[in-house]
A and B are shown apart, each in its own frame.
Chain A
Amino acid sequence: MTVAVYVAMYAGALLFLVGCLKRIYQYARTPFHLRWELYPVPHEQPDRARYGGSYFESGEWWLSPQAVHHRGDWTAMFREIVFLRGLWEFNPRLWLPSFLFHFGLYLSIVTAGLAIAGAAFGALIPGVVAGRMTADAFVIAGWTGATGILLVLAGSIWLLIRRATDATLKNYTKAGDIFNLTFFIAAFACLAYGFLGSTVNGASFEEIARGALRFDRGTHVGATAGLGLILVSALAAYIPFTHMSHFIAKYFTWHSVRWDDRRNARDGIVESKVAVSLRNRPTWAAAHVGADGKKSWAEIASANPAEEVRK
């Protein structure tokens, strides 16, 4: 069990990373698209961002450089990521289960980070102070871990019940969605039972973290806790290949679509990207488009199908 847990943890982390990079690469290399922002755009001047105004509200805006208030973006992102502001505002019924679930996940990630840092710190830096810091990290990890596990469990059970009972979701709930939530419930239930249950008899979370770092086969991982760690690792590997990787998608939907109000200044970077896009060669078949796979988009845009009809 111990080796299986270590292998799963490393493989899960690796696949998670590879999957995320693949997704990021997939979206980052899509072409520079037409402007399609939605207001409010939070990096507008703060007095405008409040009601959703844009620089188009000023006369002759092109005579001054575009002001971008990054703080607005950061604040909006913080509220969205930590507090799920969008759901709070537009779907309050779903906010609590979703918040429990996501906040629990954040705490679990913090726990994993603290455990890795604590184990690595303890192994690399000997001494009393380092020892105390490592111990503190594990104490905090104990609390964040326990809270995180319980919140994820509560959130995912709640979400599953909602999926199963809300008739309006009938068209939109796939077998995969039920499976995903069940997967979370199973993984975090095992963790809860394995680490927080009253009859815990295997290695503690701290010992497993230290053991995993040194690949110490002597560490005795309890069966349920081990199963929980394997399932969580499998989940981590699985998430980037599903719609649940929306934490990546959100970066692009926010920064490259909803908030992307970059102006196309003469001879600027946007203009040069546009010039590249206009070289694409479409093959759309409708006669009025006049595409043949050879003509560029710029040539198609310069043609007038109505004139040709007139000839």
Chain B
Amino acid sequence: MSHFTRLRDLSRSNREPVIHLDNEELMPLPAPLDDPAREHAWTPLSEQCVTRYECGLDDTCAVNIPQPKTAEEEKELVGRFLSGLDKLFDKQNNWTFLQPLLLTMEHCTGCQTCAESCHIFEASGFNELYRPTYRSEILRRLYFKYVRHGGLLSAWQHGNIRLNWPLVARLIELSYRCNLCRRCAQTCPIGCDNGLVAHELRKLFSQEMGIAARELHEQGSMLQLKAGSSTGMTAEIVKDNVDFIDEDISERTGIEVHTPWDVKGADVLLIHNAGEIMAWPENPGAFALILTMAGVNWTMSSELAGYDSINYGLWYDDAQFARVALKHVEAAKKLGVKQIIVGECGHAHKALCVTADRLLTGDFNIPRTSWLPLVRDIVMSGKIKFDPARNDFPVTLHDPCNMVRLMGVVEPQREIVRALCPQFREMEPHGVENYCCGGGSGFAIMSGNNFPDWRFHVAGRKKMEQILNAFADCIGPETPKYLCAPCSNCKGQFRDMLAYYDMWEQNRIMYGGLVELIVNAMVDVKPGFIEWEWR
């Protein structure tokens, strides 16, 4: 059993990890993953990683922060951290989140009600380092000491902390051990938000020190602002790919589909997570088919970022977040559409429909909403004929945090699956009390070093437990089962995590989106749209 991790352990001046994770200490999983043979040993960090980067937190490394060479360099980095810390509590710099952050800093009672609601804390075997309040308490002490310039009395009231480079380096990594799912915030009797604390720390590191996970920044928001999509696809490539998808879908379904591009004055601008176009082409294909059959006047846009709803800035950087959100509405404004509809991507829903709602003014303030009410209304309207018998296999539904707890879109997806999937069963808990898939806040696309080991063993563990429980009555390989995840990011996590545990080969658990289930049940479509082939 690991020793109890004190707050002061984060300031330890060596580069030794503060904790080691052991499979035996993690939350046990139900059958069939209770079999030790199906558990994986952790891949150790490479020698190169350990000698080059700051890896002093746990057994993994998400951000690859280069180790400073000299004491001066360390001092300079700590100075930059302190300057960022000041800005975090300054109106001009952090008007975006100052109020909730201050409330969280100044009013936590330390009651720990939030602790057990955190899937990461629970899955880790209640490892102290991952307690939601651990990183918040560090930031709180730094706030009272360095921002409020508290003296001895303040240290007595709020606790003390030793600031040095190892603490900052570990805090950077620790801000990437939270899915920003805000399940903890939902349970806090005061309304403090430990998820926000991780978000604000990431922001400080990015906006002041230029430090962020490469997958989110260079390969994420920067690439999106440069090429148009964080997949690297330019408009020409996307159009080519979508043409191919249209052809494929027309052939597979027997219904002619043609995705409209850049239609001025269309009712709806549909923006997909461009990852769907690359990794799960049947998803945008199914969308095109449904909208075409329902006679919706819709379009896609080939403007910069107008064809990729991803907005990774939501997870680490307000400036990048605002820039990408602006690009999305600029595309809509240019076409003069009536509304933007976000496809199956949870964080894009939250970013564009909710958070960006306090960024947009005048002509940029165009209605932005979820695809779910529109498609629910189409399904329920009777315009299209469905045969639920085509979906007669066990189906469970994952609730993407950003769409459900953080946006309140809970029932439309359930109305659809209840109508079209006779063997639908809920996970427990579900709806706004759901657990994150473990890929939230960017983890699903973060695969550097051995981070996937942490992502599947710890961050995704609770969700894995929920999935296995939902299919407990049919867990054997003789029954194909469908895990419906209407979010690209969550699907990315499920693809990798189910493969890690070999859940398709050994237990026939498949994952996919919701529109695929809708098309699979359409009477006018050739049977077998869902192919039950692992990808």
Contact = CB atoms under 8 A, between A and B. Distances in A.
A36 B91 CA distance: 17
A168 B369 CA distance: 43
Contact of A38 (B99, B137, B185, B357): B185
A173 B440 CA distance: 31
B523 interface: no
B396 interface: no
Given A34-B97, A38-B182, A253-B191, A289 B432 contact: no
B320 interface: yes
A30 B99 contact: yes
B225 interface: yes
Contact of A33 (B97, B106, B112, B113): B97
Contacts of B407: 39, 54, 56
B148 to A, nearest CB: 12
Contacts, number: 282
Interface stretch (B154-162, B164-172, B282-290): B154-162
A258 B191 contact: yes
A277 B111 contact: no
Interface residues of A, number: 95
Interface string A295-311: 00100111111110110
A25 interface: no
A178 B285 CA distance: 62
A78 interface: no
Interface string B95-107: 1111110110011
Interface in A238-284: 242-246, 249-250, 252-254, 256-258, 261, 263-264, 266, 270-271, 274-275, 277-278, 280-284
A124 interface: no
Interface string B427-438: 000011000000
A86 B323 contact: no
Given A41-B408, A52-B405, A170-B4, A59 B191 contact: no
Given A174-B157, A174-B158, A286-B206, A253 B100 contact: yes
Nearest to A162: B111
A132 interface: no
A44 interface: yes
A61 B372 CA distance: 13
B361 A91 contact: no
A279 to B, nearest CB: 9
B190 A91 contact: no
A310 B109 CA distance: 49
A169 B106 CA distance: 18
Interface of B: 4, 6-7, 80, 83-84, 87, 91-93, 95-100, 102-103, 106-113, 115-117, 128, 131, 133-134, 137, 156-159, 182, 185-193, 196, 206-210, 217, 222-226, 317-320, 322-323, 326, 339, 353-362, 365, 367, 369-370, 372-374, 377, 404-412, 431-432
Interface string A134-159: 00000000000000000000000000
A174 B156 contact: yes
Contacts of B98: 30-31, 33
B358 A264 contact: yes
A171 B358 contact: no
B197 to A, nearest CB: 13
Contact of B373 (A57, A86, A270, A307): A57
B360 A264 contact: yes
B95 A302 contact: no
Contacts of A174: 156-159
B42 to A, nearest CB: 26
A31 B95 contact: yes
A55 B93 CA distance: 31
30 contacts: A27-B99, A33-B95, A34-B96, A36-B193, A52-B404, A57-B412, A59-B373, A80-B189, A87-B113, A94-B111, A168-B112, A169-B110, A171-B128, A172-B112, A172-B137, A175-B157, A179-B156, A242-B157, A243-B106, A253-B192, A257-B99, A257-B100, A257-B103, A258-B191, A274-B359, A283-B92, A288-B210, A291-B319, A297-B95, A303-B323
Interface in A187-204: none
B409 A301 contact: no
B112 A91 contact: yes
B372 to A, nearest CB: 7
A288 B112 contact: no
Nearest to A268: B365
Contact of B6 (A171, A270, A301): A171
Given A39-B407, A263-B357, A91 B113 contact: yes
Contacts of B354: 35, 37
A242 B319 CA distance: 33
B107 A245 contact: yes
Given A252-B191, A302-B326, 14 more contacts: A37-B406, A39-B432, A52-B410, A59-B377, A87-B111, A243-B108, A243-B109, A253-B107, A257-B193, A264-B360, A277-B95, A286-B210, A301-B323, A304-B323
A257 B412 contact: no
Contacts of B92: 280-283
Nearest to B141: A174
Contacts of A173: 110
Contacts of A284: 84, 87, 93, 207-208, 319
A36 B186 CA distance: 12
Nearest to B192: A253
B192 to A, nearest CB: 7
A34 B185 contact: no
A292 interface: no
A53 interface: yes
Contacts of A91: 111-113, 116, 187, 189
Contact of B365 (A40, A172, A271): A271
A127 interface: no
B358 A270 contact: yes
Contacts of A215: none
B156 A176 contact: yes
Contacts of A307: 225-226
A41 B361 CA distance: 25
B410 to A, nearest CB: 5
A55 B367 CA distance: 13
Contacts of A258: 185, 191
A62 B339 CA distance: 10
A45 to B, nearest CB: 11
Contacts of A303: 323
B107 A301 contact: no
